[in-house]
Amino acid sequence: MSERPAFTPHDALAGASRFFYTAKASTADRNAGLPATMENRHPTVKPLDLMQYLCKLTRTPTAGTVLDPFMGSGSTGVAALREGRDFIGIDKEAEHAQVARERMAGNAPMFNRDISTPEEAA
Ligand SMILES: C[S@@+](CC[C@H](N)C(=O)[O-])C[C@H]1O[C@@H](n2cnc3c(N)ncnc32)[C@H](O)[C@@H]1O
């Protein structure tokens, strides 16, 4: 029986430039775009600069729609809109979805003329 070659990840020799280093989401990041009466209390908010980098990286020739099925407070949505991408977000918690809507509307108002919930829109 032949011996298996040692496992070598395809990017084992890659340098630090392959990685995107950023700080945790700041308070300013968390609450960017929210009205003064709202606070983003989501426990795992992602940094906007990281999400914006990923939206840039995954852009297709026709831009493409960004889908975040676990949207939380909408950091991916804010980043997608800042990058001029369409965005679809899903979250099972209505409170998170509302914070996400407000953050997106406050960050990219030109792209968000309607932030009403489906119930409000009906
Ligand atoms: C890690 S958090 C996302 C945080 C987000 N990236 C942000 O910056 O705010 C994951 C989210 O997935 C949601 N979630 C978990 N299970 C879900 C499910 N089955 N369907 C939809 N959303 C779900 C949770 O409510 C939570 O807000």
Residue 15 confidence (pLDDT)? 74
Pocket flag, ligand 1, residue 97 (CB < 6 Å) = no
Instruction: Report CA-CA distances (Å) from 34 to 43, 64, 109.
Output: 16, 26, 12
Pocket flag, ligand 1, residue 44 (CB < 6 Å) = yes
Pocket flag, ligand 1, residue 51 (CB < 6 Å) = no
Pocket flag, ligand 1, residue 42 (CB < 6 Å) = yes
- For 8-60, the pLDDT digits (tens) are 666 666 777 778 899 999 999 999 989 999 999 999 999 999 999 999 999 99
**C-alpha to C-alpha distance for 45 and 70, rounded to whole angstroms:** 12
C-beta of residue 84 within 8 angstroms of C-beta of residue 65: no
The secondary structure of 56-115 as a DSSP string is HHT-BTTB-EEEETT-TT-HHHHHHHHTT-EEEE--S-HHHHHHHHHHHHHH-GGG-S--
Length of the chain counted residue by residue: 122
Of the candidates 63, 66, 56, 111, the residue with the CA atom closest to the CA atom of residue 88: 66
Rounded to the nearest whole angstrom, what is the distance from the C-alpha of residue 55 to the centroid of ligand 1? Answer: 18
Residue 16 confidence (pLDDT)? 73
C-beta of residue 114 within 8 angstroms of C-beta of residue 121: yes
Rounded to the nearest whole angstrom, what is the distance from the C-alpha of residue 1 to the centroid of ligand 1? Answer: 47
Pocket flag, ligand 1, residue 4 (CB < 6 Å) = no
- For 71-119, the pLDDT digits (tens) are 999 999 999 999 989 999 999 999 999 999 999 998 876 655 566 666 7
Residue 43 confidence (pLDDT)? 96
**C-alpha to C-alpha distance for 16 and 3, rounded to whole angstroms:** 32
